[in-house]
Structure 1
Amino acid sequence: MVDKWEVKRGLAEAINDHDVHRLLDFFAEDAIIVSPVGLAEGHDQIAWLYEQLFKGFPDLHLTVWYEATGTDNPLMVEWTETGTHSGPFLLPDGRELEATGRRITLRGTCASFIENGKVVTHREYFDQLELYTQLGLRLSGDDPAPTCPGGESPEGP
């Protein structure tokens, strides 16, 4: 029987080595990744997702600082990713953000469901606004403020 934590830790090591082929070995063929940047299904899409990340942040480093070892499935960890934005980074609207040279420090958590020694579902959670702010992006001021039913502003009449 494969130790699920060995799988989870091996995946983190492959990410830090930027070894897409090795990290795919930790995923089932039909695995799914769900994250703030989107959904990836199967090895081809998972490989593409990590290739984009490593292209945008060639020095990306993942530090796992908490493991919820008392759970069997999903395996939960909290992490910090650091890196320098020195390559193109794909934004949710399909545009590429050219290298800014900015350093990022992103905190997050993930849950991995492991069956038969492979990750079948991997869910990541992090604050996209925190990432985009560190990259020098900002929310657009062009959008009108939300209104409550009856036309009042959220602050009241």
Structure 2
Amino acid sequence: MGEARDVMDRLTEAVTHGDLTTVAELYAEDAVAFTPDEGELHGRDAIVEYRRTMTEAIPDATFTPLQQYEADDTAIDEGVFSGVNTGPIPLPDGETLPATGRKISIRGTDLATVKDGRITSYRLYFDQMLFLDQLGLLPQD
């Protein structure tokens, strides 16, 4: 196992346990993250804040890996993020969605590029429509 794989595994553990101190330690101060729901985030503080909102919205989260890879300085995970929405979800317009109490199970992929033991670039991909549907936020036919 190389450095990138080790850092990604530690990140996954920290995120699913709500350990934002460790999340912050794993990112370079000038890291950049690309997310499907918040777009491009610049800097450790913005990335940790993004993670905070998800750990508060789904505090019992688990991640079940389906595929894990490492190529040079980049670790790649495909897996299922699951939990129950028991906390508020901040919306892009500044409003807050109250907890729905609904279960979610979202398949996604994330990639972390690591240099000197810290993530410098992070990319997350998941199906936002499935997430919204599982929360009961899409119109039902």
Same structural fold, with TM-score higher than 0.5 when normalized by the shorter chain: yes
Measure, in 2, the Cα distance between the counterparts of 1:3 and 1:123: 17
Measure, in 2, the Cα distance between the counterparts of 1:127 and 1:96: 20
2:85 aligned partner, one-letter code: H
The structure with more strand, counted as a fraction of residues? 2
Report the alpha carbon displacement of residue 74 of structure 1 after superposing the two structures with TM: 2.7
> Which residue is equivalent to 2:91?
91
2:127 aligned partner, one-letter code: D
Measure, in 2, the Cα distance between the counterparts of 1:76 and 1:5: 8
Runs of at least 4 residues off by over 6 Å? none
- Secondary structure at the aligned position of 2:59 is classed as coil
> Which residue is equivalent to 2:69?
68
Equivalent residue runs for 1:140-155 within 5 Å: none
Measure, in 2, the Cα distance between the counterparts of 1:130 and 1:73: 31
Measure, in 2, the Cα distance between the counterparts of 1:25 and 1:86: 27
Q: Which residues of structure 2 form unaligned runs of 5+?
A: none
Is the contact between residue 15 and residue 62 of structure 1 (CA under 8 Å) also seen in structure 2?
no
- Secondary structure at the aligned position of 1:11 is classed as helix
> Which residue is equivalent to 2:111?
111
> Which residue is equivalent to 2:18?
18
Q: Percent identity?
A: 32
Q: Deviations over 1:17-74 (max 9, x none)?
A: 21000111111011111111213221211121111111111111222221123x2133
Measure, in 2, the Cα distance between the counterparts of 1:81 and 1:94: 25
Report the alpha carbon displacement of residue 113 of structure 1 after superposing the two structures with TM: 1.1
Measure, in 2, the Cα distance between the counterparts of 1:32 and 1:63: 25
- Secondary structure at the aligned position of 2:78 is classed as strand
RMSD of aligned C-alpha atoms? Answer: 1.7
Report the alpha carbon displacement of residue 82 of structure 1 after superposing the two structures with TM: 0.6
Measure, in 2, the Cα distance between the counterparts of 1:41 and 1:123: 12
2:94 aligned partner, one-letter code: G
| Number of aligned positions between the proteins | 138
Q: Deviations over 1:94-126 (max 9, x none)?
A: 321111100000100011111111110100001
Report the alpha carbon displacement of residue 136 of structure 1 after superposing the two structures with TM: 0.5
Measure, in 2, the Cα distance between the counterparts of 1:78 and 1:9: 12
1:55 aligned partner, one-letter code: E
Measure, in 2, the Cα distance between the counterparts of 1:94 and 1:126: 22
> Which residue is equivalent to 2:34?
34
Matched, 1:133 2:120: no
Q: TM-score, normalised by structure 1?
A: 0.81
Equivalent residue runs for 1:42-57 within 5 Å: 42-57=43-58
- Decide which structure has the larger Cα Rg and report it: 1
> Which residue is equivalent to 1:151?
none
